[in-house]
Chain A
Amino acid sequence: MDAPARLLLACVLLCAARAGAEPAASGVFDRYAGRIVQIASLEKGAETRSSYGTGFYVGAEGLLATNYHVVSDEVLEPETHALEITDHAGKKLTGKVVDFDIIHDLAIVKTEPAAQIFALHPVSPAHGLRLFSFGYPNDLALSVVEGTFNGVNRMAMVEQYHFTGAINPGMSGGPAVTEEGEVVGINDASEGNSVGFLEPVQYLLPLLEHAQKSPATDLLARARDQLLAYQRDATALLLRTPLVQRELGGQKVPGQWLPELKCWASEKQAKPRYYASTSYDCHDENRVFVSDTQRSGMLRYASTFLDGRGLNRFHFAALAEDEFDGNYWRIDAGEDDVTKFKCHTDFVAVNGSHLKVAFCARAYRRLAGLCDAVVQIASVDGADRAVQSTFELAGFTVENATRLAQRYVEGFTWVQ
């Protein structure tokens, strides 16, 4: 057989194999499409859609599961927003948020009862399991995407399922099910190139139970309580874990605080060669979605060692001043979410090191008692060497942020 003929045969075989698999996806679609709806957030008055996502029936009483971020406008600004639900038959329904889990980005919406619902069971999926993810990608018609369960993405405080398959905007809140219709997870986020994340179904079970027993009335208070509980647990976890030190340019800086944090080191040489810098950066991948403009529940810190040997002390100080706060990431938040930052600045002496430290915080406007906090640190010990650092927390009380920041500052040692 010559080469083109062999290719043709290979294609025929492969296509046959694909054709054999296809009834599974189309069967799955036909079986479950009726249990899935599109959820849009409408701006009252203008009647324009400010966001849209997917939901699916999980309770006989007309309860839908979706992502919190699909219905956040309804939670934060109920007087200006309403939900519009469109079922698979095209029928428009109204809906109301009855409960949510802001940390795991899940919500329960009550609407009219449906004929068929998904039964939820705790599952522990096998690595490589074939899953079918449902949703309305980019506001198109209901679609099903086939993909693979690829294990658990463990972060400091929460877990997500790693799903290899194309989850696109608009599919958020849709179910990822097995061929048998077992819900494994809820579509949540995508990092592009078929790297997607699902919220595990076990977080949905207690939420559904709670929504059936006692629907939440004060939604804002519920969001606040959940964030407060989350930061309380995170603070307790961090405070009971010793903060190990790490060497950076011969000095000692805070190292990897928790095994789940992603930590990186990098080096940079300024051109022309006035100074060299070495950086160390750690962060938790989790972000709690609060509003379109605000993220919370974050921890991130980074240190840089500046080596300006060859510069005189004045030039080096000017350089260090330029670099100061160069590590700062802006934590997402808008004018409706938070106040401006307020800072407290002074010199701090710790472990032989003299640090210029600024502790800055801004308060959450809607979720009272929470804040974002940033600590900016610059050593003032060496005439031509310095350590600079940033420590950032989103969604903590001032009290807890202060305790964690103190622990962080105590993690610096100046080695002569």
Chain B
Amino acid sequence: MGSVTLLEIRDADGVVVGRHRLANLPLTIGRGSDCDVILDDAQVSGSHARIERDADGAPMLVDAGSRNGVLALESGERVQSLALRPGLRARLGDTVLVFRGPDEVRPSTQAVSLAPKGAFELDAWKAFVLADAAVYAALAVTLLVNSTRPPTAGKILGPPFLLAALALFWGGVWSLVGRLIRRRFHFWGHATVGALGVLAIPVLGVGTEALGFALAAEDAFKVALVLLIAAVGAAMLHQHFRWITPWSPARRAVTALGVVAALGGVAGLIVTADHNRFSTGLPFSRTLEAPELRMRQGRTPAEFFDAARGLDKELQRELAKPR
């Protein structure tokens, strides 16, 4: 393994913004003007890291007590120190440090994506168009399944147009936030994620409704729908956070789940309050689908009404509730 002689500095989009020769160690790295290598990155601490030699004289990258830490890019984990070798990549805030040896081919200045290899690139107008087309298709199916009469042109064209506009607006808001926080703009990415979120609602809604009818288990599938929509919401946030924060995947996931759980909790409180209110309505699912969708075999009347006797216990519980 050759020695490390060059420090290459890249921004989060992978563009090389500078190179620094590693001659006189130790070397301080940070946002502060007293550092040897000054990084123009709001996520980097004033004095973020040092490059120094260990007892055996091998060069190390060491966290100098930074707020956001030093991340080994390969593992995504926050580390206290890293032994330097050619090709090693470390992340400080939104900046990526690449260490190079003297015998390495002269590195190109071509941008290298930070996204894991093989991942579908969402941040492209093509991705948005694809997602939006899927929204159109899903809405067309929903319209066919749920309306009682042939749809009008307004019904066919209106909702998808509105939803596309909504996804674009959604992308715009997140891009603006990204621009403010990280000075970068992932408009098509945010809009695509928005469109995929919009897509989830009719797909999951029609799917769970049809399955609920088919198996005569509408209540269970209503719960499933809520959980699935929460999962989609968390996945969307996770992806948006990727572009507007320097957070590790784990932190993004925890935060996204936290936000969804908090929103779910508030919604749950509202629904529970509503549920406890007195009503003379009949709380059963009116869902009816084409006869072919029925998968569950019908009970005999005797079996059905035997099972219905369980209602007596439920009513006793209802009577026992404090009012």
Give Cα distance in the complex from A346 to B298, angstroms. 7
Assess the B284–A348 pair: CB atoms within 8 A. Answer: no
Does B322 interact with chain A (Cβ within 8 Å)? no
Assess the B298–A348 pair: CB atoms within 8 A. Answer: yes
The count of residues in chain A whose C-beta lies closer than 8 Å to any C-beta of chain B is 61
Give Cα distance in the complex from A374 to B144, angstroms. 32
Against A, the Cβ 8 Å flags (1 = close, 0 = not) of B66-91 are: 00000000000000000000000000
- Chain A residues near B289: list those with CB within 8 A: 317, 380
- Chain A residues near B271: list those with CB within 8 A: none
Identify which of B292, B302, B305 contacts A359 (C-beta below 8 A). B305
Assess the B288–A356 pair: CB atoms within 8 A. Answer: yes
Against B, the Cβ 8 Å flags (1 = close, 0 = not) of A366-402 are: 0010010010101011110010000000000011001
CB distance from B212 to the nearest CB of A (A): 10
Task: Choose the segment among B156-164, B192-200, B254-262, B311-319 that binds chain A (4+ C-beta atoms closer than 8 Å).
Answer: B311-319
Identify which of A342, A358, A410 contacts B318 (C-beta below 8 A). A342
Does B110 interact with chain A (Cβ within 8 Å)? no
Assess the A340–B279 pair: CB atoms within 8 A. Answer: yes
Chain A at the B interface: mostly helix, strand, loop or mixed?
mixed
Assess the A330–B298 pair: CB atoms within 8 A. Answer: no
Assess the B284–A343 pair: CB atoms within 8 A. Answer: yes
Assess the A363–B300 pair: CB atoms within 8 A. Answer: no
CB distance from B141 to the nearest CB of A (A): 10
Given the interface pairs A345-B284, A376-B282, the reply to whether A318 lies near B304 with Cβ below 8 Å is: no
User: Which residue from chain B places its CB closest to the CB of A369 in the assembled complex?
Assistant: B312
- Chain B residues near A341: list those with CB within 8 A: 279-283
Given the interface pairs A313-B290, A325-B286, A344-B307, the reply to whether A363 lies near B147 with Cβ below 8 Å is: no
User: Which residue from chain A places its CB closest to the CB of B306 in the assembled complex?
Assistant: A402
- Chain B residues near A331: list those with CB within 8 A: 280
The count of residues in chain B whose C-beta lies closer than 8 Å to any C-beta of chain A is 45
Identify which of B146, B281, B283 contacts A318 (C-beta below 8 A). B146
Given the interface pairs A339-B318, A341-B282, the reply to whether A315 lies near B288 with Cβ below 8 Å is: no
CB distance from A341 to the nearest CB of B (A): 5
Assess the A333–B280 pair: CB atoms within 8 A. Answer: yes
Assess the A319–B148 pair: CB atoms within 8 A. Answer: yes
Assess the A381–B291 pair: CB atoms within 8 A. Answer: yes
Does A409 interact with chain B (Cβ within 8 Å)? yes
Does B94 interact with chain A (Cβ within 8 Å)? no
- Given A315-B150, A340-B278, 20 more contacts at CB 8 Å? A313-B292, A324-B286, A325-B282, A333-B280, A340-B279, A342-B311, A342-B314, A343-B311, A346-B298, A354-B294, A354-B298, A355-B298, A360-B283, A360-B311, A376-B282, A378-B288, A380-B288, A398-B315, A402-B309, A405-B305
